[in-house]
Structure 1
Amino acid sequence: MMGPNMNKMLKQVQKMQAEMMRLQEELGNRTVEATAGGGAVKAVVNGKQELVALEIKPEAVDPEDVEMLTELVLTAVNSALNQSREMVTREMGKLTGGLNLPGLF
C-alpha cells in the first residue's frame, strides 16, 4: 500500500517526465550554429544533435586544397555539436535543479 508521500513523489516524477518530454521536443526545434574559416563554412545543429544545415561559401572550395575544406567542415560541425550539447545540458539542468539523471538524453 502506498502512503501519501509515495503518491506525491510519483506525481512529481510524472510531472518531471512530462516536462522533460516537452523540453526534448522544444530543444529539437532550437538550433545553434558555428562557423569556421572566418565564416567560410557554417554548420547548424538542432538540440537533438542533428546537423540541419551546412553552408559552404564558394571561396572556401579550392580543388587544390580539399583537405583544408574538410578541416573547416569538421571544425564547424564539431563546434556546433558541442554548443548543442551544452544547450541541452544547461536547459535540462534548469528543469532538474542540477540533479544528475543519467540516461535521459
Structure 2
Amino acid sequence: MAELFGKMNEFQQKMQEAKEEAAAIEVHAEVGGGMVKVTANGNRQITRLKIERDVIDPDDSDMLEDLIIAGVNKALADAERASAEKMQEVARNMIPGGGLPGMDLSKFGL
C-alpha cells in the first residue's frame, strides 16, 4: 500500500511539473492575412495582441472586432491543444502503455 501511495505522489508531482511546462507553451495565431496576431500561453491566457494599422478603420469597427474575436478563439484553441498534448506526453512517459487499464484519464486532461 505504501508503494502505491508513493507512486501516486510521484504521479502528482510529475503532473504538476507537466502543468508548469504546459503553462510555458506559447502559441501564435494570425487572422485576416496576418493583420491581427494573437499570442496565448498554455494556461489559455492571451499574452500579446498585434493589430496592423491598415485594418483599423473607424468607420468599420465590426470587421476589426470580428478579426480580434477570430484571432483570440484560434489562439486559445491552439493553446488548449498544445497543453493537452503536453499532458498526454507526460502520462505516456509515466505509465507504460500510456494509461491504466480500465481507467479513463480524459477528465484529467490526459
- The normalised TM-score by structure 2 is 0.82
CA distance in 2: counterparts of 1:95 and 1:12, whole angstroms: 15
- Residue 103 of structure 1, CA deviation: 4.9
Q: Between Structure 1 and Structure 2, how many residues are aligned?
A: 100
Q: Identity percentage over the alignment?
A: 29
Q: Which runs of 4+ in 1 moved over 6 A?
A: none
Which residue pairs with 1:57 in the alignment? 52
CA distance in 1: counterparts of 2:89 and 2:11, whole angstroms: 12
Which residue pairs with 2:105 in the alignment? 100
CA RMSD across the alignment: 1.8
Which residue pairs with 1:39 in the alignment? 34
- Residue 101 of structure 1, CA deviation: 4.7
| Deviations, residues 10-29 of structure 1 (Å, cap 9, x unaligned) | 11111111111111112212
CA distance in 2: counterparts of 1:40 and 1:68, whole angstroms: 11
Q: What 5-or-longer segments of structure 1 have no aligned partner?
A: 1-5
CA distance in 1: counterparts of 2:5 and 2:107, whole angstroms: 19
CA distance in 2: counterparts of 1:54 and 1:74, whole angstroms: 11
Which residue pairs with 1:3 in the alignment? none
Q: What 5-or-longer segments of structure 2 have no aligned partner?
A: 92-97
After superposition, residues 67-86 of structure 1 pair within 5 angstroms as 67-86=62-81
- The normalised TM-score by structure 1 is 0.86
Instruction: Tell me which amino acid in the other structure corresponds to 2:76.
Output: L
